Structure 1
Amino acid sequence: MVLVVDIGNTNFTFGAFEGKEQKATFRMMSQNACTSDEYGIQLIAMLSANGINKEDIEGIIVASVVPQVMHAFISALIKYIGIRPYIVGPGIKTGIKITTENPKEIGPDLIVDAVAGFELYGGPVMVIDFGTATTYEIINEKGEFFTGVISPGIRISAKALWQDTAKLPEIEIRKPASILAKETISSMQAGLMYGQIGQTKYIISRMKEESGLSDMKVVATGGLGRVLVDDIPEIDVYNPALTLEGLRILYEKNRKVKPTESDYEDNAN
């Protein structure tokens, strides 16, 4: 069994795979840093709750956009599971070529999504991830990741509304039945959700036009994607497990070379 870990700005998302079959997925918050022992105890408890014995785990791969949690978390994996993980970063085999102006600036989350999009759906493909930030990336038919767009996600926009305005309340992020809102809360919800829908439709259209790849497949992922995709016919596929699938694919590409302590030092800082 392979354990894959996606550390985002809001959550740790874990996936357990037997071959290509996902056996379990679970999450814990990433906003509060913990000690290695706290991470280890939480992880063992969640594995047990999902019917997974740590002895069944043969390998681990981690992608993180939160550097400050990495030392403690990696130490927890080594101490409590006894496995040194692969870390998505410089030196890892991906099967795609990053041709942006500064490839080192491309985050691990974007790399993982690009690998999953290209391996599962071929190229050219656009991958959209509705996470803390909403990201758009294009991988062409040669497997070249050559462009990307990053915009504020719905949660970031929502926080800006209620934190930076004196009278607007904190609200549940959901799509109202109509854009024709009649009170404050549904007005905010309409602006957030339909604003994201409109932005997404425009960015897809503009990226297709400027890249000349008008027939590329558009694949979306991310938790909030499920409440948006029905209103965005430009999205061909919604795959909520895309990032975890990408991590599994990267593990398979790299499993013949065991990770070392120097790999951790290169990629975890």
Structure 2
Amino acid sequence: MLLVLDVGNTTTVVGVYSQKTLIVHWRLVSERHTSDELGIYLRNLMQFASIPHGDIHGAISSSVVPSLDCVIQEGVSQYFNGIECLRVSSTLDLGMEVRYAAPHEVGADRLVNAVAGRDRYGAPLIVIDFGTAITLDIISPDGAYLGGTISPGLVSGMEALFGRTAKLPQVSLEAPLNVIGKNTMESIQAGLMYGNAGLVDFLVRKTWESLGTRCKVVATGGHAEAIAKISETIETVDQWLTLEGLRIIYERNIS
């Protein structure tokens, strides 16, 4: 079995694959751990899912939190029989040309999403990830990674709003039935949800113009489902796309 970890600034997604099947997954709050804490945490998750830790034969991680990179490596090695956790970067064999001006600057999660997106949906393709940031990653008609956009995420925008306004209440990230809010809570929700859907749709249309063709748009990440319901361009939501990309990259690099 393969242990996969996608470590973001806000959430960490952990999954276990049996061959090509994702058999269990968890979405957790990203926290600063020691290697021992992380190893015990992962072992407890395995126990909860009735997966003997000895059945884990490999591991791979993508991380945008550099301070946790060594922690993950050491924690997995110490608590999973000395397994070396492969770390995603542009230097690995991705099976995809990276046409970014500085490939080492591309976030590991963005590369992973692109690899999985092309494998599942073909090219050209736009993959949108709704995490701490909202990222659009673009795959060219001939299957290369081109780059994309980075915008503040929904939670980041909400925290910025509340941090600078004393009287506005915190709200759940749900779209009201109408873009015209009838009270303060609905007004905030409308601005956040419809505003970010509009942001995404505009970026998608400008990307189509740059590519010279319309293409499929796939969304992933914690808020993908909520935005997809009101977006005019998102066609598919694939919540575990990043984990699938980790599996594909692992299999390409470990013979």
Q: Normalised by the shorter chain, which TM-score bucket?
A: over 0.9
Cα displacement (A) at 1:173: 1.7
Cα displacement (A) at 1:144: 1.1
Partners in 1 of 2:148 and 2:90 — Cα distance?
Answer: 19
Query: Does the alignment pair 1:141 with 2:141?
Result: yes
Aligned to 2:61: 62
Cα displacement (A) at 1:90: 4.1
Cα displacement (A) at 1:247: 0.5
Cα displacement (A) at 1:61: 0.5
Corresponding residue pairs, total: 254
C-alpha distance after superposition, 1:105-160 (max 9, x if no partner): 11101100010111111111111111110000111132211131111111100001
Query: Does the alignment pair 1:45 with 2:36?
Result: no
- Name the CA shift for 1:172/1:230 in 2 (closer, same or farther; >3 Å): closer
Aligned to 1:15: 15
Aligned to 1:236: 235
Alignment check: 8 A CA contact 2:127 2:137 kept = yes
Alignment check: 8 A CA contact 1:95 1:143 kept = no
Alignment check: 8 A CA contact 2:36 2:75 kept = yes
Aligned to 2:198: 198
Structure 1 runs (4+) greater than 2 angstroms displaced: none
Structure 2, unaligned runs of 5 or more = none
Partners in 2 of 1:154 and 1:248 — Cα distance?
Answer: 28
Q: Counterparts in 2 of 1:85-124, with a 5 A limit?
A: 85-124=85-124
Identity fraction in percent:
39
Alignment check: 8 A CA contact 1:6 1:243 kept = yes
Alignment check: 8 A CA contact 1:176 1:189 kept = yes
- SS, match of residue 97 in structure 1: coil
Aligned to 1:250: 249
Partners in 1 of 2:212 and 2:100 — Cα distance?
Answer: 17
Aligned to 1:26: 26
Aligned to 1:259: none
- SS, match of residue 9 in structure 1: coil
Aligned to 1:267: none
**Aligned AA for 1:231?**
I
Relative to the length of structure 2, the TM-score reads 0.96
Structure 1, unaligned runs of 5 or more = 257-269
Q: CA RMSD in A?
A: 1.2
Aligned to 1:36: 35
Partners in 2 of 1:57 and 1:141 — Cα distance?
Answer: 37
